[in-house]
A = this chain, B = another copy of it.
Amino acid sequence: MIKAGIVGGTGYTGVELLRILSAHPGVKVEAITSRSEDGIPVADMFPSLRGHLDLAFSVPDIETLSKCDVVFFATPHGVAMNMTPELLARGVKVIDLGADFRIKDVPLWEQWYNHTHTCPDLVEKAVYGLPEVNRAAIREAQLIGCAGCYPTAAQLGFLPLLEKQLVDTRRLIADCKSGVSGAGRGASVGTLLCEASESVKAYGVPGHRHLPEIRQGLTAMAGRPVGLTFVPHLMPMIRGIHTTLYSVLRDPVDPGLQELFEERFANEPFVDVMPAGSCPETRSVKGSNFCRISVHRPQEDDTVVVLAVIDNLVKGAAGQAIQVMNIMFERPETEGLQQVALMP
Contacts and interface: CB of A to CB of B under 8 A. Distances in A.
A50 B292 contact: yes
Contact of A298 (B206, B238, B280): B206
Nearest to A303: B229
A285 B49 CA distance: 9
A188 B185 contact: no
A322 interface: no
Interface string A307-344: 10100000000000000000000000000001111111
Given A47-B274, A194-B180, A343-B48, A202 B236 contact: no
B238 A194 contact: yes
A290 interface: yes
B277 A239 contact: no
Contacts of A340: 19, 22-23, 48-49, 52
A305 B180 contact: no
Closest 3 CB pairs of A and B: A199-B283, A48-B341, A194-B344
12 contacts: A23-B338, A185-B195, A187-B187, A191-B192, A193-B196, A198-B240, A199-B281, A200-B235, A205-B305, A206-B299, A236-B237, A246-B246
